[in-house]
Structure 1
Amino acid sequence: MTDTKKTRVLIIGSGPAGYTAAIYAGRAMLEPVLVEGDHPGGQLTTTTDVENWPGLISAQGPEMMEDMRAHAEAMGTEIITERIESLELGERPFRALGASGCVYEADAVILATGARARWLGLPSEERLKGYGVSACATCDGFFFRDQEVVVVGGGNTAVEEALYMSSIASKVTLVNRGDALKAEMVLQERLFKTPGIEVIWNHETDEIVGEEAVEGVRLRHSKTGEITEVPAGAVFIAIGHLPASELVSEDVETHHGGYVVTKPGSTATSIPGLFAAGDVTDHQYRQAITSAGMGCMAALEAERFLAS
């Protein structure tokens, strides 16, 4: 027999947005259920040092997420570690199917499944994540001030990362696999006018060099195959993000490659009772603090929706 768990508010995802939504929903006596997914804590668990969370001069990402989780539980949230595989939104209560076979029924759902950075897929990249390999210059760039760094990519994200690092690093090398950038022209103009940034064209990242930390990047010319090594204390992979919106992509409007569209100034989607918070809807900021703020908004809006 299939187990069925009923709740007024189901929160799917466990990053800053999900945990904050759970804290507020718990305080509102909604007795929320939060399903963590395959990666409890989200992207912040791969960030070692966090120095941009107000009130904490320095903190460890995994410890922050453990504290948020404990806070959510203390406020009355039931936290379940499994993956939601499908979500039925045609009628209320909404029905979510877990990987265990459990069915979750909820009057309101907060989607906080986040986004995943696109990676190159190199073994050295995986090994050196947190030791000079990052997908977020805004998060980690400060730790590499006055060092030479490499940014990989050619779109808006890559150019924005390079511009951001230009005021922190001693030199920024932007590696683009083609002979033209895909970024908006206004960003390209800023890039080419900014001192301290060098663009290397027609090269792909062949290897990230370093044993215990990044020491450089080995590049391969996309046409000739010639190998070039660039010294660097950090490499920022900026080839895009993938919003984890698969559960609702056929039911709600998405944009910018799959990010869930919400109403202006709100976390409400086009389906009454479904709210989206954090990186699954945020293609612009992608910060822990903004995700937490949206989690708060989603819980307050879900409370008002249920009261009405």
Structure 2
Amino acid sequence: MTDIAIIGGGPAGLSAAINARIRNKTVLLVTNDYKDSYLAKAERVDNYLGLPGLGGQELMEQFRKHAESQGVEEVNKRVISVMPMGESFFLSYESEVAEAKTIILTTGVVPAGKLPGEGEFLGKGVSYCATCDGMLYRGRKVVVVGKSADAVEEANYLHEIGCQVTFVADKEGTRGLAEGVELVTAKRLEIRGDKAAEALIADGREIPADGIFILRQAISPQDIMQGIQVENGSIVTNKRMETSIPGVFAAGDCTGRPYQIAKAVGEGQVAALYAAEYIDKMKKEN
């Protein structure tokens, strides 16, 4: 079992990981490819203390090297859910699971707004993970809504296992789709069905489907962890970066404005220190 699982590998997540390791805690960092982050795409960063004028990707590489030097274990996958299990938590990331004593959410800003029908049919024909649920739809019609860098790869995987795949994107020119995967370009999307999802409506066109995979770069904290308190799209925390769920902490952009590197790094440190304190307290009580 890992001491601290950190979801998100931006400045807040890496800061939390480094400080957790300094406190001699084991760390599992689960994150998307950092090159797809907003920071990595920044041309120049001038307001981070002591390191002015670096490009966003260069700054991220410095952060990551520091974390690697502390022995931080990194897994490049998308977290689907976190479930409390008494005195620990189970993480599901694509087709794998892990157990941790505490959780630190550093998911950044997740674009707001679900598709109409998405929440209603989640788990009833709507999925966020093709690798996890793809085999359930073998030989059946599926739609992939591509909003992440790996969406084409996931669509091709579904095609390989025998699904009839339609790939829906909001722009033309999607590269790498396997032959036999239909590409539909549309911006206005809606999921319809009765007791389960039955079709995606794409700019007024109905695309019948047994399964609809919505592949975003990240999943909102409320969907990852049911019951966590959120206000205006941000996770509610106290000064110790504790959330409404005992043993779960949050840091960085996911806790609200200002969206600045210095804030994220500081909150990541605070979250790690109090997560370590939480673990030590649990040991004494047991």
TM-score scaled by length of structure 2 = 0.58
Contact 1:116 1:244 in 2 (8 A): yes
Larger deviation, residues 288-297 vs 35-44: 35-44
Tell me the distance in 2 between the aligned counterparts of 1:33 and 1:40.
19
Q: CA deviation at 1:91?
A: 2.5
d(CA) in 2 for partners of 1:10, 1:249: 13
The counterpart of 1:111, out of the listed 100, 105, 108, is 105
> What SS does structure 1 have at the residue aligned with 2:102?
strand
Structure 2 match to 1:279 = 253
The aligned counterpart of 2:229 is 253
Match of 2:90 among 65, 90, 95: 95
1: CA distance, partners of 2:251 / 2:224:
13
Structure-1 separation of matches of 2:237 and 2:83: 19
What is the CA distance between 1:27 and its match in structure 2?
Answer: 1.1
Tell me what 2:49 maps to: 54
* Aligned position for 2:66: 71
Equivalent position of 1:123 in the other structure:
none
What is the aligned-residue identity percentage?
Answer: 35
**AA matched with 2:10:** G
Once the 2 structures are TM-superposed, how far is the Cα of residue 102 of structure 1 from its aligned partner? 1.4
Whether 2:261 is the aligned partner of 1:288: answer yes
Unpaired runs of at least 5, structure 1: 1-5, 119-241
Could you say which structure has the larger radius of gyration? 1
Give the unaligned 5+ runs of structure 2. Answer: 113-217, 282-286
Other structure's SS at 2:221 match: coil
Matching of residue 304 in structure 1 with residue 277 in structure 2? yes
CA apart distance, 1:244 = 3.5
Q: In structure 1, what residue type is equivalent to 2:101? A: D
Once residues 74 and 296 of structure 1 are traced to their aligned partners in structure 2, the CA distance between those partners, rounded to angstroms, is: 17
Question: 1:290 Cα deviation (Å)?
Answer: 0.2
Give the residue type in structure 2 aligned to 1:102: E
CA distance, structure 2, for counterparts of residue 105 and residue 112 of structure 1: 18
**Distance in structure 2 (CA, Å) of the matches to 1:40 and 1:96:** 23
Residue number in structure 2 paired with 1:132: none
Alignment partner, residue 116 of structure 2: none
Is 2:57 the partner of 1:81?
Answer: no
2:90, 2:24 → 1: CA distance?
A: 21
Task: Give the AA of the match of 1:280.
Answer: C
The equivalent of 1:29 in structure 2 is: 24
Is 1:114–1:243's contact at 8 Å kept on the other side of the alignment? Answer: no
User: Residues of 1 paired with 2:276 and 2:222: CA distance?
Assistant: 25
Deviation at 1:75, TM superposition (A): 0.8
Task: Give the equivalent residue in structure 2 for 1:262.
Answer: 237
C-alpha distance in structure 2 between counterparts of 1:109 and 1:8, whole Å? 9
Cα deviation for residue 69 of structure 1 reads: 1.0
Partners of 1:68 and 1:9 in 2: CA distance: 19
1: CA distance between counterparts of 2:67 and 2:82?
A: 23
Cα separation, 1, equivalents of 2:44 and 2:7:
26
Matched residue type, 1:274: V
Deviations 1:173-202 (A, max 9, x none): xxxxxxxxxxxxxxxxxxxxxxxxxxxxxx
> Which whole-Å CA distance do the structure 1 matches of 2:272 and 2:23 have between them?
9
Question: What is the CA distance between 1:37 and its match in structure 2?
Answer: 2.3
CA distance in 2, matches of 1:45, 1:253: 29
* Contact 2:10-2:34 at 8 Å conserved across structures: no
Distance 1:41 1:12 in 2: 15
Please give the alpha-carbon distance, in whole angstroms, between the structure 1 residues aligned to 2:35 and 2:100: 21
Kept in 1: contact 2:80–2:224 (CA 8 A): no
Contact 2:83 2:225 survives alignment (8 Å): no
